[in-house]
Chain A
Amino acid sequence: MAKFSKKPQDLIADIDYSKTPQTEWMDTPVEFKEHTFCWGAKGKNLEVVGFPNARDWSPTEEDWKLPQDWENIVMEGIKDRLSKYRSFKLFMDICVRCGACADKCHFYIGSGDPKNMPVLRAELFRSIYRRYFTAPGRVFGRLAGARELTLQVLKEWWYYFYQCTECRRCSVFCPYGIDTAEITMMVRELTNLLGLNTDWISGPVANCYMKGNHLGLEPHTIKSSVEFFLDDIETITGIRIEPTFNRKGAEVLFVTPSGDLFADPGTYTAMGYLMLFHEIGLDYTWSTYASEGGNFGFFTSNEMAKRLNAKIYAEAKRLGVKWILGGECGHMWRVLNQYMDTWNGPADFLEVPKSPITGTVFENAKTTKMIHITEFTADLIRNNKIKLDPSRNDNLIVTYHDSCNTARGMGLLEEPRYIIRHVCNHFYEMPEDTIREKTFCCGSGTGLNAGENMELRMRGGLPRAMAVKHVKEKHGVNMLANVCAIDRATLSALMDYYNKGVRVTGVHEMVGNALVMKGEKPRETNLRAEPLPGKEEA
Chain B
Amino acid sequence: MKMLVPLSAVIVMIIIALAGVEAAGLQALFGIAIPYIAFLVFVIGMVLKVINWAKSPVPFRITTTCGQQQSLPWIKQNKIENPSTCFHTFIRMVLEVLLFRSLFRNLKTELNDGKVVYGSDKWLWLFALVFHYSFLVVLIRHIRFFVVDMPFAIEIIEALDSFFQVGVPLLYLSGLGLLVGAIFLFLRRIVIPQVRYISLPADYFPLFLVIAIAITGIIMRYFTKVDVVAVKNLTMGLVTFSPVVPEGIGSIFYVHLFLVCTLFAYFPFSKLVHMGGVFLSPTRNLANNSRMERHINPWNYPVHVHTYEEYENEFRDKMKKAGLPVEKE
Binding site for B on A (CB under 8 A): 9, 12-13, 15-21, 24-25, 50, 82-90, 93-100, 102-104, 109, 114, 117, 119-120, 123, 134-136, 143-145, 168, 171-179, 182, 209-212, 218-220, 223-224, 245-248, 288-289, 302-303, 306-307, 310-311, 314-315, 318, 336-339, 341-343, 345-346, 360, 362-368, 370, 375, 378-379, 382, 407-415, 418, 431, 433-434, 436-438, 462-463, 466, 469
- 5 closest cross-chain pairs (CB), A and B: A411-B69, A94-B277, A220-B322, A177-B283, A103-B109
- A117 to B194, Cβ gap below 8 A? yes
- B108 to A103, Cβ gap below 8 A? yes
Q: A94-B273, A318-B308, A410-B65 are in contact. List 6 more A-B contacts (CB 8 A).
A: A89-B53, A219-B315, A307-B303, A408-B65, A411-B66, A418-B75
Number of residues in B with C-beta < 8 Å to the partner? Answer: 100
Q: Which of B54, B71, B81, B197 contacts A86 (CB 8 A)?
A: B54
- A83 to B56, Cβ gap below 8 A? yes
Shortest Cβ distance from A173 into chain B, in angstroms?
Answer: 6
A18 to B197, CA, bound (A): 10
Secondary structure at the B interface, as helix, strand, loop or mixed, is loop
- A120 to B198, Cβ gap below 8 A? yes
With CB as the reference atom, state the residue of chain A lying closest to B200. Answer: A145
B163 within 8 A of A: no
- B277 to A90, Cβ gap below 8 A? yes
- A360 to B72, Cβ gap below 8 A? yes
A13 to B290, CA, bound (A): 44
- Residues of chain A lying within 8 A (CB to CB) of residue B62: 87, 179, 182, 338, 409
B116 within 8 A of A: yes
- B64 to A171, Cβ gap below 8 A? yes
With CB as the reference atom, state the residue of chain A lying closest to B285. Answer: A177
Q: Which of B60, B103, B318 contacts A100 (CB 8 A)?
A: B103
Pick 25 A–B contacts, CB within 8 A, sort by A.
A85-B58, A94-B274, A96-B271, A99-B192, A102-B198, A109-B109, A173-B102, A176-B277, A176-B284, A179-B64, A179-B283, A220-B321, A306-B303, A339-B60, A339-B290, A342-B61, A365-B292, A366-B291, A409-B64, A413-B67, A414-B75, A434-B118, A437-B65, A437-B67, A469-B115
A314 to B260, CA, bound (A): 60
From known contacts A224-B322, A338-B62, infer whether A25 and B201 are also in contact, taking CB-CB under 8 Å.
no
A113 to B221, CA, bound (A): 47
- Residues of chain B lying within 8 A (CB to CB) of residue A104: 107, 109
Binding site for A on B (CB under 8 A): 2, 5, 49, 52-72, 74-76, 78, 81-82, 84, 96, 100, 102-103, 105-111, 114-116, 118, 124, 128, 192-203, 269-271, 273-274, 277-278, 280-284, 288, 290-297, 299-300, 303-308, 311-312, 314-315, 318-319, 321-325
- B56 to A168, Cβ gap below 8 A? no
Secondary structure at the A interface, as helix, strand, loop or mixed, is helix
From known contacts A289-B308, A314-B305, A314-B307, infer whether A97 and B199 are also in contact, taking CB-CB under 8 Å.
yes
- B270 to A311, Cβ gap below 8 A? no
A103 to B198, CA, bound (A): 13
With CB as the reference atom, state the residue of chain A lying closest to B5. Answer: A143
With CB as the reference atom, state the residue of chain A lying closest to B83. Answer: A411
- A50 to B304, Cβ gap below 8 A? yes
